[in-house]
Structures are given as structure tokens and as C-alpha cells.
Amino acid sequence: MGFGNPFSSQGKSSLTIQFVEGQFVDSYDPTIENTFNKLVSVNGQDFNLQLVDTAGQDEYSIFPQSHSLDIHGYVLVYSVTSQKSFEVVQILHDKLLDMVGKVQVPTVLVGNKKDLHMERMIKPEEGKKLADSWGAAFMESSAKENQTAVEVFKRIIMEMEKADGNTQSEDKKCCVM
């Protein structure tokens, strides 16, 4: 078991890599910010999705301005096995809204590590209630399962399209926190 920043253990990088590369990576350096590009088809339309996998965020994080410029949507990830990560994701959402200067942005709240049944601390209903309070979409996923990772990123594209009024922009930029 690796030791490190407990806030970066929600599995967002593993989720991103599962989606982009189709493989599960358990250990990943949480201090590195990466950008990935992936062509994804949603409802018969192809989108070029650019993903910014942010460096490990905690409640003391100061967001760089780059996390608000030209970003169309946000995927906020917590671990269903960690009460602390669930609390931190709420603080991050508040900071995110302050940074972008809006009351609502296209967001998918993701409860990751749903496969760890015995270690679960956050019930699906709690995540759904939080997402509803934000006007966000909610999903649970496992970075070990390619299909749930794919569904997360298809969902954020649908949320971005809805916010855009279904304008046919094929380039979408998403930030994963």
C-alpha cells in the first residue's frame, strides 16, 4: 500500500487512464497534471475530448486560472471509501464556482471505487443528493472497469452539450478533479 496525500487517492487519474488507454493503473503520481485527447462518439456524433487531469487537489488548493479558461465541463471525483474525499469534493466545487464566476457549470460528480463494497463509507444516495443540490449529474464508477469509465466521460459530454443548447461544437475540454 502506498502512502501519500490522502486527498489524491480518489482514483481520478486511474479513471482517466482507464478511459483514454483502456487499462487500469493502480499507482499514479498524484503531483503531475496531464492532458489527454480522445475521440469519443456520443449519440452518433464524434467529439474530440481534451481531458485535463489535475494534480492532486485538497481543500487548501488554489486553482490555477488555466482550470477555468476554455473549460466546458468538470468531472469531480471522490472515493466511496473515504468520508474525507467526499468532504473535500464539496469544498472543491465551491472553489470551482468562485473561480469560474458562475452559479452552475456542467459537472458530473463521480463516486469512484464502487467495487470496494466492504470499504464503502459513502452511500450512493448521499452522492446523488449532493449532485442534485449542485444541479450536476451523478454516477458511481470503478476505474477497474472500462465501461463505467467510458460512461463517466460520455456523461460529461452530454452535460456540456445540454449547457451549450446542443450547439454542434465538436471540441470539448473537460477538467477532472
Alpha helices (H) along 101-145: 124-134
Euclidean distance between CA atoms 138 and 146, whole angstroms: 18
Whether residue 66 contacts residue 100, with contact meaning beta carbons closer than 8 Å, is answered with: no
C-alpha cell at 151: 460512461
Residue span of the structural domain in which 57 resides: 6-176
- What's the pTM value of the predicted model, to 2 decimals? 0.83
Mean pLDDT of 80-104: 89
Q: Tally the C-alpha atoms within 13 A of residue 17's C-alpha that lie toward its C-beta.
A: 16
pLDDT at 103 over 70: yes
Euclidean distance between CA atoms 75 and 119, whole angstroms: 23
DSSP state of 118: G
Q: In CATH, what number is assigned to the domain containing residue 165?
A: 3.40.50.300
Domain count of the fold of the chain: 1
pLDDT digits (tens, 9 = 90+) for 41-80: 888 888 888 888 876 656 555 555 555 567 788 999 999 9
> Does some domain include residue 116?
yes
pLDDT digits (tens, 9 = 90+) for 12-46: 888 888 888 888 887 666 667 788 888 888 888 88
C-alpha cell at 106: 456542467
Whether residue 119 contacts residue 9, with contact meaning beta carbons closer than 8 Å, is answered with: no
Whether residue 56 contacts residue 157, with contact meaning beta carbons closer than 8 Å, is answered with: no
Report the Cα–Cα distance between both ends of the chain, in Å, rounded.
22
| Closest C-alpha to 19, from 174, 148, 157, 158 | 148
> Does some domain include residue 1?
no
Q: Model confidence at 166, in pLDDT bands (50, 70, 90)? A: low
pLDDT (0 to 100) of residue 7: 43
Euclidean distance between CA atoms 144 and 128, whole angstroms: 22
What are the angstrom distances between the C-alpha of 171 and each of 4, 88, 103, 136? 35, 30, 24, 21
